Chain A
């Protein structure tokens, strides 16, 4: 019976549920984005290590600088391993910028990174051909290197069609297979022992620590210090306590440890990633609240649409209500009928909204590489129950207006 009424007034019915459709679609899309974001972040965190702390050198000169500290060095890292053997990893890294590289006829510029073999245990997303560095490479200052082959830009990203990043190594890989060959870095010849292929950009699970744009060559840290940097300085030390609960404690301990070694000079920063992470998560939760508020507002708007149309429907069906009452319908019968009709419309609107939301959510990643979308059955279920709820709540007033009509007057109404 309600269905006939809906079919008889297609435009009116469409208008009444359209507000719900828009509301539900935006709710679903926002949930999908937020869930995708959380998922990315958690995966990135798992890849970084659960109890990650990062000690980095201060890049800017500070006023308190007294010149008594020699900065972060390899010795700091070695000493840290001895003092706190319970740490899961201690990975020092050093970086040097814009070094000249020559491979056969190809010249390029790249940042060079000195790493230790343990670097393979954190943030490792590469598909390695050849081999990585060993303790032997470190010990004997071997002039070997691993090239990083950049990941393909995301296929989904439509902007990429207009803007393509220039990769100085692209020609090299296009023309040669460099594995096992020699490459010249500044004045020294290195042997390429491995090629680490990055995943395509849109599938890169790293959330933090995506490599710097022009970081194409890794060499063993010791080799780096001897041939490229000419000092035992390092830029950062990555530490993993193995447990996010202990990071605050170790953050404090590390600070005291380095202050002591640097003669009271605080020329380093300590990043606590589980804290950073929980900060991010808090942001996401805050954002969720804001979004919830917006969703509620948009659904109220949709609900008012339903209410409006339902009221109009009631006024155009006064006679029908009189007839139904004359043949025995109680107030409750009429109330239920009108609420049900609106709920059917609202659920229809909700279902269209779910479809639009899912469609929209799958379209979104095409605007960026780093856009993961998670549509859980739970969020779809939530959207459908919201549309049921909105339909019911906002049709109660019009339905009540219908139910309380006086049968005699309703029958007389023309």
Chain B
């Protein structure tokens, strides 16, 4: 499903010309339906890895194949389409549109994959039911609790039936009980065949995942 070979990301400071190696020759693969946690101290390159896997960024070197397609050197426009249709993001800070209702937040990705409006709403309603928010579809994120917001974010990530879910510290802003609930939601999704990569620094949460990638200083250790 995910096949990375010698991924390297180097940030250059335009002014001083100094270089910073965020990812250093990273290779790994994740099978379809795999549930892998990426752990490591902050600054170890796990966010950079997540951004590259999520097509938000491109590697400086190396190859990244997503379900057999080489995506490391796609154009901006193609990258946007890949991340819209094949990838779902869940962020630590939820990243929901604050003035839009839960329903519209979930429907948002489908606007960009050209789904008809009636179908968008229908699909969003089903997804919100699946994450247990059938009563709060009209609420805006400000009217929801942290756990509920993250459920909305997960429903949004699932909107275009992506093959891969990428989660960046999804429980980082939640108390442990709610975090546990969100985590079990991920486990459930994993069982339905979604490939999940979860970035965390919490060893406990990492244990819930099937696989583990440990990183330090831009390398897998």
Query: Which residues of A come within 8 Å of B, CB atoms?
Result: 1, 4-5, 8, 319-320, 322-333, 407-408, 411
Find out whether the CB atom of B84 lies under 8 angstroms from the CB atom of A328: yes
Q: How far is the CB of A48 from chain B (nearest CB, A)?
A: 63
Find out whether the CB atom of A322 lies under 8 angstroms from the CB atom of B95: yes
**Contact A327:B76 (CB < 8 A) given known A4-B100, A411-B91:** no
CB-CB contacts below 8 Å: B74-105 with A: 76-77, 80-81, 83-85, 89, 91, 95-97, 99-100, 104
Contact of B80 among A320, A325, A408 (CB under 8 A): A325
- The 0/1 profile, CB within 8 Å of A marked 1, for residues 150-179 of chain B is 000000100110000000000000000000
Contact of A328 among B96, B97, B104, B113 (CB under 8 A): B113
Q: In whole angstroms, how far apart are the Cα atoms of A407 and B77 in the complex?
A: 13
**Contact A327:B77 (CB < 8 A) given known A4-B100, A8-B99, A319-B95:** no
Given contact pairs A323-B97, A327-B89, enumerate 7 new A-B contacts (beta carbons under 8 Å): A1-B100, A1-B104, A327-B159, A328-B81, A331-B77, A331-B80, A408-B57
Find out whether the CB atom of A328 lies under 8 angstroms from the CB atom of B56: no
Closest residue to B95 on the A side, CB-wise?
A: A323
Closest residue to B160 on the A side, CB-wise?
A: A328
Find out whether the CB atom of A331 lies under 8 angstroms from the CB atom of B160: no
Find out whether the CB atom of A323 lies under 8 angstroms from the CB atom of B83: no
Q: How far is the CB of A333 from chain B (nearest CB, A)?
A: 6
Among A319, A328, A329, A333: residue with most chain B CB under 10 A: A328
Contacts of A319 on B, CB cut-off 8 Å? 95
**Contact A327:B108 (CB < 8 A) given known A1-B100, A320-B97:** yes
Find out whether the CB atom of A332 lies under 8 angstroms from the CB atom of B77: yes
Find out whether the CB atom of A327 lies under 8 angstroms from the CB atom of B84: yes
Q: How far is the CB of A174 from chain B (nearest CB, A)?
A: 71
Q: In whole angstroms, how far apart are the Cα atoms of A137 and B109 in the complex?
A: 93
Query: Which residues of B come within 8 Å of A, CB atoms?
Result: 51, 54, 56-57, 76-77, 80-81, 83-85, 89, 91, 95-97, 99-100, 104, 108-109, 112-113, 156, 159-160
Closest residue to A410 on the B side, CB-wise?
A: B56
Q: How far is the CB of A64 from chain B (nearest CB, A)?
A: 84
Q: How far is the CB of B85 from chain A (nearest CB, A)?
A: 7
Closest residue to A327 on the B side, CB-wise?
A: B109
Find out whether the CB atom of A329 lies under 8 angstroms from the CB atom of B80: yes
Q: Identify whether the interface residues of A are mostly helix, strand, loop, or mixed.
A: helix
Q: In whole angstroms, how far apart are the Cα atoms of A1 and B156 in the complex?
A: 17
Find out whether the CB atom of B160 lies under 8 angstroms from the CB atom of A326: no
Find out whether the CB atom of A326 lies under 8 angstroms from the CB atom of B56: yes
Contacts of B160 on A, CB cut-off 8 Å? 328
Q: In whole angstroms, how far apart are the Cα atoms of A149 and B95 in the complex?
A: 81
Find out whether the CB atom of B95 lies under 8 angstroms from the CB atom of A333: no
Find out whether the CB atom of A326 lies under 8 angstroms from the CB atom of B95: yes
Closest residue to B113 on the A side, CB-wise?
A: A328
Q: How far is the CB of B108 from chain A (nearest CB, A)?
A: 6
Contacts of A330 on B, CB cut-off 8 Å? 76-77, 80-81, 112
Closest residue to A411 on the B side, CB-wise?
A: B95
Contacts of B109 on A, CB cut-off 8 Å? 327-328
Find out whether the CB atom of A324 lies under 8 angstroms from the CB atom of B108: yes
**Contact A327:B112 (CB < 8 A) given known A320-B97, A411-B95:** yes
**Contact A326:B54 (CB < 8 A) given known A1-B100, A8-B99:** yes
Among A1, A320, A322, A327: residue with most chain B CB under 10 A: A327
Q: In whole angstroms, how far apart are the Cα atoms of A320 and B160 in the complex?
A: 19
Q: In whole angstroms, how far apart are the Cα atoms of A203 and B148 in the complex?
A: 72
Find out whether the CB atom of A328 lies under 8 angstroms from the CB atom of B95: no
Q: In whole angstroms, how far apart are the Cα atoms of A320 and B89 in the complex?
A: 15
Find out whether the CB atom of A328 lies under 8 angstroms from the CB atom of B57: no
Among A4, A319, A331, A407: residue with most chain B CB under 10 A: A407
Q: In whole angstroms, how far apart are the Cα atoms of A5 and B98 in the complex?
A: 11
Contacts of A327 on B, CB cut-off 8 Å? 83-84, 89, 108-109, 112, 156, 159
Q: How far is the CB of A214 from chain B (nearest CB, A)?
A: 72
Closest residue to B98 on the A side, CB-wise?
A: A320
Closest residue to A326 on the B side, CB-wise?
A: B89
Contacts of B77 on A, CB cut-off 8 Å? 330-332
Closest residue to B99 on the A side, CB-wise?
A: A4
Q: How far is the CB of B220 from chain A (nearest CB, A)?
A: 21
Closest residue to A404 on the B side, CB-wise?
A: B76
Closest residue to A330 on the B side, CB-wise?
A: B80
Q: How far is the CB of A296 from chain B (nearest CB, A)?
A: 36
Closest residue to B57 on the A side, CB-wise?
A: A408
Q: How far is the CB of B113 from chain A (nearest CB, A)?
A: 6
Find out whether the CB atom of A329 lies under 8 angstroms from the CB atom of B91: no
Q: In whole angstroms, how far apart are the Cα atoms of A333 and B76 in the complex?
A: 12
**Contact A328:B91 (CB < 8 A) given known A4-B100, A333-B112, A408-B51:** no
Closest residue to A4 on the B side, CB-wise?
A: B99
Q: In whole angstroms, how far apart are the Cα atoms of A24 and B201 in the complex?
A: 59
Q: In whole angstroms, how far apart are the Cα atoms of A319 and B99 in the complex?
A: 13
Contacts of A5 on B, CB cut-off 8 Å? 99
Q: How far is the CB of A325 from chain B (nearest CB, A)?
A: 7
The 4 closest A-B pairs by CB, nearest first: A328-B84, A327-B109, A328-B112, A330-B80
Contacts of A332 on B, CB cut-off 8 Å? 77
Q: How far is the CB of B83 from chain A (nearest CB, A)?
A: 6
Q: List 13 A-B contacts (CB under 8 A).
A: A4-B99, A4-B100, A319-B95, A323-B97, A324-B108, A328-B84, A328-B113, A328-B160, A329-B84, A330-B76, A330-B81, A332-B77, A411-B91
Closest residue to B85 on the A side, CB-wise?
A: A328
Find out whether the CB atom of B76 lies under 8 angstroms from the CB atom of A331: yes
Q: In whole angstroms, how far apart are the Cα atoms of A322 and B104 in the complex?
A: 17
